[in-house]
Structure 1
Amino acid sequence: MAFTLRQVRYFVATAEVGQISQAAIHLSISQSAVTSAIQELESLLGVSLFIRSPQGMTLTDSGRHFLNHAYSILRSVEDALKSPLPDTSIEGSLSVAASYTVMGYFLPYHLQRLAQWYPGIQLNLFEQERETIERGLLEGQFDMAVVLTANLQHPEIAAETLFSSERRLWLPNRHPLSERPSVGLEDVAREPFIMLTVDEADQTALRYWDSSHLQPRVILRTSSVEAVRSMVANGSGVAILSDLVYRPWSLEGRRIETLSLNDPVPPMSVGLAWRRDLEFSEPMKAFREYFRHSFLAPQLSSSRR
């Protein structure tokens, strides 16, 4: 029996949603195809990857270990398919600032790919808060930034959004709200709430809470995403955070579920920023072109037709 990417993709999809039926819907295939792929993979590896129960599929220790390898396999394949030949003609340095969330959950993978695309460009990286990034762009300390674009405030800062990550409700496994056909902020307001503060997440949250004329029952305000993850997974409360920072498991190995809310909650938008009147250098053009190719190429192609 051969090892296939299909098996890995179906395994990852099931691990992330915790149910074969939901994985099949996400993949637009039959449940039997997902079941067969997982069984084939378990046979090849000689271990059980999931504990099966009426409530769904829970990863075993071997399954959690293999999940990390599966993510690496899929990233490597995606990288091989997307990366063009290196452009060694562009040389120079580029000072790039990024906020905490962007630096921790988005940039590392792209930094490695950028080094392959443009080996002649030296990137100087700075992790800063939004106000410091805006000031640095205006004063010429930073050439460009990768930020949460909705947070930007200075009118002299230009921005281009690359993608938007939906904010969903985070719940511990088997929480009563996960059994409801729909959940809104009124339901969430009755639960103990963990409020993330980093990258002005609390200010964003309070805006959509205020617009709903409701208030969360906050039991903890923290700048640590991992603290939120662990507290939710261990049943201390719930949170509303973006898919960008979501991982299905806490550090303790407990599962975290997510639900889309039926009330309007703005997504978290990530993109590039620069001083509006700045003339782009060749390294700046290359940096922007990489991200445009990675995230906007289908949109740009469609707009030209």
Structure 2
Amino acid sequence: MSLTFRQLKYFVAAAELGQISQAAIQLAISQSAITTSIRELESTIGTQLFDRSAQGVTLTHSGRNFLNHAYTILSSVDAALNMPNLEDTVTGRLVLGASYTVIGYFLPYHLQRLAQLYPHLEIQVHELNRDSIEKGLIENRYDMAVLLTSNVVNPGLAVEPFFSSARRLWVAAQHPLLKCDTVTLEDVSREPYIMLTVDEAGYTALRYWSETPYQPDIRLRTSSVEAVRSMVANGSGVAVLSDMVYRPWSLEGRRIETIQLKDPIPAMSIGLAWRKGSDIQPPMHAVREYFRHMFSASRTGLL
């Protein structure tokens, strides 16, 4: 088995962040993809790169040595991919709308990468709810938006999804459901449920619940992801949320586990939106091509 750029990228992210879950969020991929890739890398080079614990991952002596080589390789590849070219001539300003979940858990990393790739492009970001974003795009107050594309309803908008984040059940450590071979929404309906409402999360949840004979036993509705995290970690209820907003620890330092539900739960889809018929100016084209390249490369294993 040969070493790949993808393995190096996943290894470096895990090494820098110290947690597979955090690396998965930064790279917008699943935790299992990173875990599998790192184990393949360790098998390829014949040594253990990380010590694993409940708190995360730490580099072994071999891992620290290998990290320096990984930095050198990735730096060389990045320099080759970003040689001066016509892309550097992209100038101007892009007014970008973004929803709460996107700006809080997804967009900052990509804004930093775009700033490196297009140093003469100014991106002005506005945090808004979905309805305000749609109206702003139609009325030309915003050029584009990064949002939960599965929630978009205005037919006057062009939508291009590029990333999906699976939704799983969140439970406290030692929760009885962790011992079950399979867990269904029927099982979840018997548990106190903490409902997140921000970015229409509650509406989305009730849509897939409505396709079953069951209903969640909602004990709290909140717009705060941290409140959900704390309530779940302290055993006050369970929740179904996406991997993108998952963190293994609450603010109190209590562990949160996830369970893949047997029932089909729609993934949270993230992507770009813009007004249909818009003249795609160079700033819009540059941002759209960045996301297309980033996520097509991730899917094909080039990055």
TM over 0.5: yes
CA contact (8 A) 1:193 1:220 kept: yes
In structure 1, what is the equivalent of residue 271 of structure 2?
271
Q: Which runs of 5+ in 1 are unaligned?
A: 40-49, 51-56
- Pairwise CA RMSD: 3.7
Matches of 1:195 and 1:210 in 2, distance apart?
15
CA contact (8 A) 1:165 1:267 kept: yes
SS of residue matched to 1:236? coil
The TM-score, its normalising length taken from structure 2, stands at 0.78
2:15 to 8, 16, 23: 8
AA aligned opposite 1:219:
R
1:44-71 alpha-carbon deviations (Å, 9 max, x no partner): xxxxxx7xxxxxx422xxx6999xxx9x
Structure 1: distance between partners of 2:14 and 2:164: 29
Structure 1 pair 192–6 and aligned structure 2 pair: CA distance change class (3 A): closer
One-letter code of the match for 2:274?
W
What is the aligned length? 270
Structure number with higher relative contact order (C-alpha < 8 Å, ≥ 6 residues apart): 2
Deviates more, 1:106-115 or 1:81-90: 81-90
| Equivalent position amino acid for 2:129 in 1 | E
Q: Does the 8 Å CA contact 2:50/2:58 hold for their aligned counterparts?
A: no
| 1:250 shift after superposition | 1.0
**What is the CA-CA distance between 1:300 and the residue it aligns to?**
8.9
CA distance in 2, matches of 1:200, 1:152: 11
The Cα shift of 1:299 comes to 6.2
> Tell me, which stretches of 5 or more residues in structure 2 are unaligned?
1-10, 25-32
Asked if the contact 1:168/1:259 (under 8 Å) is kept, the reply is: yes
Cα deviation 1:163-191 (Å, max 9, x = unaligned): 11000000111111011111000000000
Going from structure 1 to structure 2, the CA distance change for 1:253 and 1:35 (only over 3 Å counts) comes to farther
| Cα 1:293–1:238 shift into 2, 3 Å | same
Question: Which position in structure 2 is the counterpart of 1:131?
Answer: 131
Give 3-state SS (helix, strand or coil) of 1:257's partner: strand
Structure 2 matches for 1:53-72, cutoff 5 A? Answer: 57-59=53-55
Identical-pair percentage: 50
- How far apart, CA to CA, are the structure 2 residues paired with 1:265 and 1:292? 25
- Indicate if the aligned counterparts of 1:11 and 1:38 stay in contact, CA closer than 8 A: no
Which residue of structure 1 lines up, in the alignment, with residue 293 of structure 2? Answer: 293
Q: Deviations over 1:235-281 (max 9, x none)?
A: 11100000010111111111110011000110000000000110100
Quote how far apart the aligned CAs of 1:114 are: 0.4
Q: Which residue does the alignment assign to 1:256?
A: 256
Deviations 1:82-126 (A, max 9, x none): 562463211010100000000000000110000001111111110
- Taking the TM superposition and a 5 Å limit, the aligned residue runs for 1:32-111 are 36-39=48-51, 57-59=53-55, 80=75, 81=77, 84-85=82-83, 87-111=87-111
Decide whether the 8 Å contact of 1:15 with 1:58 is kept in 2. no
**Counterpart contact for 1:24–1:34, Cα < 8 Å:** no
Q: TM-score, normalised by structure 1?
A: 0.78
* Equivalent position of 2:112 in the other structure: 112
Give me the whole-angstrom Cα distance separating, in 2, the residues matched to 1:145 and 1:6.
27
